[in-house]
Structure 1
Amino acid sequence: MTLAKTIDGLLAKAIDDGVSAGFYAMAANRDRIVFSGGAGTSDGTSPWREDTIAWLASMTKSIVAVAALQLVERGVIGLDTPTTDVLPELAALQVLEGYDEETPRLRTARTPVTLRMLLSHTAGTGYSFLSANLARYQQENKIPTSLELKLASIVDSPLVYEPGTGTMYGNGLEWVGLAIARLTGRDLATHLRETVFDPLGMVDTAFGIVDRSRLASVQAKTPDGLVALPFELPAEPEFLSGGGGLYGTPRDYLRFLQMLGAGGVFNGARLLASEVLTAAQQSHSAVFGRAASVDPATSHDIDLLPGTSVSWSLLGMRNEERTPQDRPVGTVAWAGGANCYYWVDADGATAGVLFAQLVPFADPGVIGLFADIEQAVRA
């Protein structure tokens, strides 16, 4: 059976099984795109296509990380230099150690936050759907949710551990986006367009929707089945979210992955020096495992590679041992909150994306489909 027939069959079965209303998958090797195809619908009527626009959510993070590493390469900022000169707000952050009955235990962070910490999820930043104490604090203090894109959502939220002493998936890339804007003197959208999107030909990736007629709708999986969710990020946010604010297409995102796999260059455009990229792809955190969700409406427990040791690079999650799908050690991968997923091998041997627009995140059926697609590509 050909690769196309295999993946087409996997996608069709997932639709028949009610995993989601629609998907689009793309994969490439060093030389060419080896698969591009979808199943189901993107908005109830239109088929998924490689130029269907979807909310990238946390797949934004890897793109913003590349923009930050470009500034590191130019000597504008160091990975291990305290970032308080650029982001003085970080100097005033407090650590939430827990609660004494009704009283939060807060103290000032003792360790300066660095860019490396923010990129590798070791800065102490968190997400409320992964921390009961943080969720309680934000609710009691009426701090906006991360999806409201108000500065108070990051500035007024405490850290969940002392910077540099732990590993927890968090919103540190929001701070990175703010730092890029301040260091360059221009808004994050303009900077990403000129330094990442235009060189790669990512014509449909932006903060905002470039063509509403191609927009996929988000659906929620409920006990009663799939339900359309009227979701869209604020049109006029207080800040551009470096952690989850981009919309884009499968075609655009695969171009970004092909650049990473090719050592920082794509179609003659070099975005990063190969040595900078290689260093960024190494492990920069402790090994971690399943992340327990405290908000089932937002996410299932997160374990994208069950039974496999993983850590954080500066570009996303990396596996520290070979996976059942034969993913080599050091492959960078991550995902977005509406169940989009990607992988890219450090040597560019393979790369792939699976797009859906479905919540809660970390849907077991979508993760299983993604694993099966990857295994087919590597076979």
Structure 2
Amino acid sequence: MDHRLTPEHEELRRTVEEFAHDVVAPKIGEFYEHHEFPYEIVREMGRMGLFGLPFPEEYGGMGGDYLALGIALEELARVDSSVAITLEAGVSLGAMPVHRFGTEEQKRTWLPRLCSGEILGAFGLTEPECGSDAGGTRTTARLDEATGEWVINGTKCFITNSGTEITGLVTVTAVTGRTEDGKPLISSIIVPSGTPGFTVAPPYSKVGWNASDTRELSFSDVRVPAANLLGEQGRGYAQFLRILDEGRIAISALATGLAQGCVDESLAYARTRRAFGRPIGTNQAIQFKIADMEMRAHTARLAWRDAASRLVHGEPFKKEAALAKLYSSEIAVDNARDATQIHGGYGFMNEYPVARMWRDAKILEIGEGTSEVQRMLIARELGLAG
């Protein structure tokens, strides 16, 4: 399978690469250090059309595909992961559920503003007592027949893009009924920001991704119209499984970008840092370490592009997405560790990008499904029931 980029995709890659180096790189360190959301950078990403990359033009999108999204995420993450995860969550978790499962009215109401970056969307799935066990959702939503409204109660945690000044909606998964044998029926419901009873907590104090927005959300008798149901009632579990399958490709692209960024920074440092009278890049130990880092990043790129290509062509991609996410997230941690080691004491200083990369890498093995969950999915796709 040929994973070389088309001229259009290569032009996109170069455009985002230039934006990342000329706009993001000079400014993001200060945002990161002060735990501030980079509104100016995000607005520029919106003007570039990045939030609309995989969506049809009729809804304000760029008419591209998931490969285009992955290319943009990889190039952004080579410089900074906070900006990259803002785009990833805004597209694959915020807007994609509306695109995949929304009614025509919901699409025309929300997608143009989401595609332009005027507003951000969030995906309220994870809860304090059920992380990987998303089927154990405790948030509830009951339909008040008298008013024609959903009444939502519960708590969500670790939700990206949920509390910014431009957050427009959160799609919430909630139990809306039970099967005859007592199993929960989970549905997805759109909750606009500012709805009474919808409370957004202060930002988390995080190890990494410090220039991105992550919060806990609470819902106390939150009422939204019955028409805010996204897709079929009781199909929310299947919906978010599809969204997570796609999202793993996006996270893999982001992780690949971080891994490649570690190579970029290590190469530049090895060529200029002198020890014992010569550049440290002339030492075979450093050369081999960087060669291994490049090998990992290259392989991860092939993996996520293969999964994206299968998605774009309508082929099964669940296993390939899990493989790509598992491998790329783990090698991102490896490359971040090695890049820090190459930089020595300077790698522990926040003024160097590799310090951010080291802090940002670990969450990639957790978010969008832990490494353990990916191995479980791969085993199931191989026919190993358990």
* Fold agreement, TM-score > 0.5: no
> Looking at CA atoms only, which structure, 1 or 2, has the larger radius of gyration?
2
Q: What TM-score comes out, normalization by structure 1 length?
A: 0.28
